[in-house]
Amino acid sequence: MINATKKWIFLKISGALLVPLMIWFILNFINIYNQDYSVVENFFSNSSSKFLFSIFIINAYFFSALSISEVFEDYIKNYKIKNVANRILYASAVVIPLITIILMSRL
């Protein structure tokens, strides 16, 4: 399979998976928005909320990295700059969710 086709398929799958996770997050965010810190902490201490939020964060960064890399492919003509930009993008798409999940697991 062509690399561009794989990217397109992953982009569509991650986008479709992101929709229900985003709805779940928005509904829960509305519920905890004006609450005390303890309510927010209880929400993120719940194992199912931790799991769903972790999947949401990983998927959101994966989706955004794929989307932004397409922009790099289209608009950056220099191969070296494009390669460095994509590597930094993919590294941040791994590191930022990982740090978020580690810090969230401390709750």
Helix (H, G, I), strand (E, B) or coil at 17: helix
57/99 Cα distance (integer angstroms): 11
38/67 Cα distance (integer angstroms): 36
Domain boundaries, the chain: 3-105
pLDDT for 16: 96
Average pLDDT by stretches of 10, the chain with 107 residues? 86 95 94 88 88 94 93 92 94 94 83
C-beta pairs of 64-67 under 8 Å, 24+ apart in sequence = 64/93, 65/89, 65/90, 65/92, 65/93, 66/7, 66/10, 66/11, 66/14, 67/11
pLDDT for 68: 94
Name the residue among 85, 61, 88 with its Cα closest to residue 73.
85
The yes/no answer on whether domain 3-105 falls in CATH 1.20.1300.10 is yes
Instruction: State CA 57 to chain mean position distance.
Output: 4
pLDDT for 13: 94
18/64 Cα distance (integer angstroms): 11
Rounded to two decimals, what is the model's pTM?
Answer: 0.83
